[in-house]
Amino acid sequence: MGIIRVEGIRTYSYHGCLAEEATIGGSYVVDVMIETDFNEAAISDELSKTVDYLTVHEIVKEQMAIRSKLIEHVAKRISDKLRSQLPAIQKLQVTVTKINPPMNGDVEKVSVTVS
């Protein structure tokens, strides 16, 4: 068993409850932590025996391009799609971070994590 992390996936997306967020958009960062058995890949040096990081990245980008009001919804969609496309995943954690959210205050970021 081992852990694969694909961290700092940056996107410019259009999530949020405010109408302006649908047109202006904002910066997001997605981090994915996957627990899987990659022992065979470590021995054989074969990509087919592990979780392909490129597939993880593509799924995140694809799901981040679909507008949602809530980042909780986006994180769940990413998690569901990763699980359906990558059956080798034993445990999964997806964190979606909204950079500089439009709030009445100085807030650097807001994050949600689904497991």
pTM of the model: 0.94
pLDDT tens-digit profile, the chain (115 residues): 899 999 999 999 999 999 889 999 999 999 999 999 999 999 999 999 999 999 999 999 999 999 999 999 999 999 999 999 999 999 999 999 999 998 888 999 999 999 9
C-beta neighbour count of 98 within 10 angstroms: 22
Domain that holds residue 23: 2-114
Are the C-beta atoms of 14 and 22 separated by less than 8 Å? Answer: yes
State how far the Cα of 91 lies from the Cα of 34, in Å rounded to an integer: 6
Q: What is the 3-state secondary structure (H, E, C) of 34-73?
A: EEECCHHHHHHCCHHHCCCHHHHHHHHHHHHCCCCCCHHH
- pLDDT for position 41: 95
State how far the Cα of 60 lies from the Cα of 33, in Å rounded to an integer: 12
- pLDDT for position 87: 94
- pLDDT for position 11: 98
Catalytic residues: 98
Domain count, the chain: 1
- pLDDT for position 75: 98
- pLDDT for position 83: 98
Query: Could you tell me the CATH number of the domain that includes residue 33?
Result: 3.30.1130.10
Count H helices and E strands in the chain, helices first: 4, 4
